[in-house]
């Protein structure tokens, strides 16, 4: 079984929990996910099966993610979300939409962001959340991230609902924390729902209960999205028999293509390989066997 599942992760489960559940339901050994969601968060979790796990990096690293976030003003927490212990409280100013919009401006585009201390990032070989749980703090450097869209969807103080589209490495918890700091009252992320990962949207997502029903009816395979969904925006080319044989054996071939990479389809019509140019040839960097 090879392909992707678009799962609507429920609150209270880790991303690893979802992978383990899918593995048991579908009786598959090779299962992984394309980007962690915090346990309290809900929404799109892209799960890969079989050979599709070799395409996870392109979903995780190269797609934009979209979120709906509720930010609660006036309270900061140890984790920058509702799972942590309260740190400080402050009165929330009487803000109108215009003032909020002005504050949000600094969080759009290419920005510098300090990740939360409670995160899975590594510092000197240890995950930050392990250090945080041990009572240690680290002076974390800011990182460059990109926020493509940031919209105010609802203002009901002390709560602010935002819609965010961002790139790899962006922490919505950090946006919530920093927005509170900019407004002078502190804030934390009260709720988070991921509504899209690239072309994987929440409208098409399956609940685990729906997947369980499909598996019981022997229809789980119908829910699988094809592996090439991960690279659907790459240039595509169909190879002839000789080219297919060469690429299957890892040999570079001459192609009339322009660009940094391409998807090659074999004579069977299935995705055969991912290609990158090397000098005047195209070399397979990943070759797939769907049998």
Give tens-digit pLDDT for 210-227: 999 999 998 888 889 999
Q: What is the pLDDT of residue 193?
A: 99
Find, among 66, 63, 55, 62, the residue nearest to 33 by Cα. 55
Residue 106 sits in the same domain as residue 182: yes
Percent of the chain with pLDDT strictly greater than 90: 82
Residue 213 sits in the same domain as residue 131: no
- Count of domains forming the chain: 3
Residue 38 is a catalytic residue = yes
Question: Is residue 214 exposed (0-12), middle (13-18) or buried (19+ Cβ within 10 Å)?
Answer: middle
Find, among 87, 94, 73, the residue nearest to 181 by Cα. 73
Strand (E) or helix (H) holding 87:
strand 86-89
Residue 204 sits in the same domain as residue 190: no
Fill in the DSSP letter of residue 206. B
Among 8, 17, 38, 61, the one annotated catalytic: 38
More confident residue, 221 or 8: 8
Residue 74 sits in the same domain as residue 160: yes
Per the CB < 8 A criterion, the answer to whether 33 and 47 are in contact is yes
Distances (CA, A) of 220 to 124, 191, 280: 42, 30, 43
Q: Kindly calculate the radius of gyration of the chain based on its CA atoms and give it in whole angstroms.
A: 22
Domain hosting residue 273, numbered range: 234-287
Q: How far apart are CA 41 and CA 13, in angstroms?
A: 9
Is residue 196's pLDDT more than 70?
Answer: yes
Pairing of strands 65-73, 159-166: antiparallel
Phi and psi at 200, nearest 5°, equal: -85, 105
Q: Which of 146, 179, 197 is the last residue of a domain?
A: 197
Percent of the chain with pLDDT strictly greater than 70: 93
Contacts of 1 (CB under 8 A, 6+ apart): 26, 28, 49, 50, 220, 221, 224
Is residue 139's pLDDT more than 90?
Answer: no
């Amino acid at each position: 079984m090879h392909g992707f599942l678009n799962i609507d992760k429920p609150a209270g489960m880790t991303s690893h929990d979802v992978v383990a559940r899918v593995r048991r339901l579908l009786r598959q050994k090779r299962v992984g996910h394309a980007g962690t969601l915090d346990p309290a968060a809900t929404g799109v979790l892209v799960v890969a099966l079989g050979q599709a796990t070799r395409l996870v990096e392109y979903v995780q690293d190269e797609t934009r993610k979209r979120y709906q976030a509720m930010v609660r003003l006036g309270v900061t927490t140890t984790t920058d979300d509702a799972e942590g212990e309260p740190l400080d409280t402050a009165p929330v100013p009487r803000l109108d939409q215009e003032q909020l919009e002005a504050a949000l401006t600094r969080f759009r585009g290419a920005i510098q962001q300090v990740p939360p201390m409670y995160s899975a990032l590594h510092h000197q070989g240890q995950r930050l959340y392990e250090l945080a749980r041990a009572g240690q703090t680290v002076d974390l450097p800011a990182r460059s991230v990109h926020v493509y869209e940031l919209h105010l969807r609802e203002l009901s103080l002390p709560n602010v609902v935002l819609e965010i589209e961002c790139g790899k490495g962006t922490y919505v918890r950090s946006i919530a924390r920093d927005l509170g700091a900019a407004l002078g009252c502190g804030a934390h992320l009260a709720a988070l729902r991921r509504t899209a990962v690239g072309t994987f949207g929440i409208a098409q997502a399956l609940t685990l209960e729906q997947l369980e029903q499909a598996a019981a009816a022997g229809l789980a395979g119908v829910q699988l999205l094809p592996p090439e969904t991960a690279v659907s925006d790459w240039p595509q080319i169909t190879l002839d028999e000789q080219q297919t044989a060469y690429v299957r054996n890892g040999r570079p071939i001459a192609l009339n293509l322009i660009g940094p990479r391409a998807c090659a389809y074999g004579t069977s019509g299935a995705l055969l390989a991912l290609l990158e140019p090397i000098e005047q040839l195209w070399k397979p960097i990943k070759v797939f066997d769907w049998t």
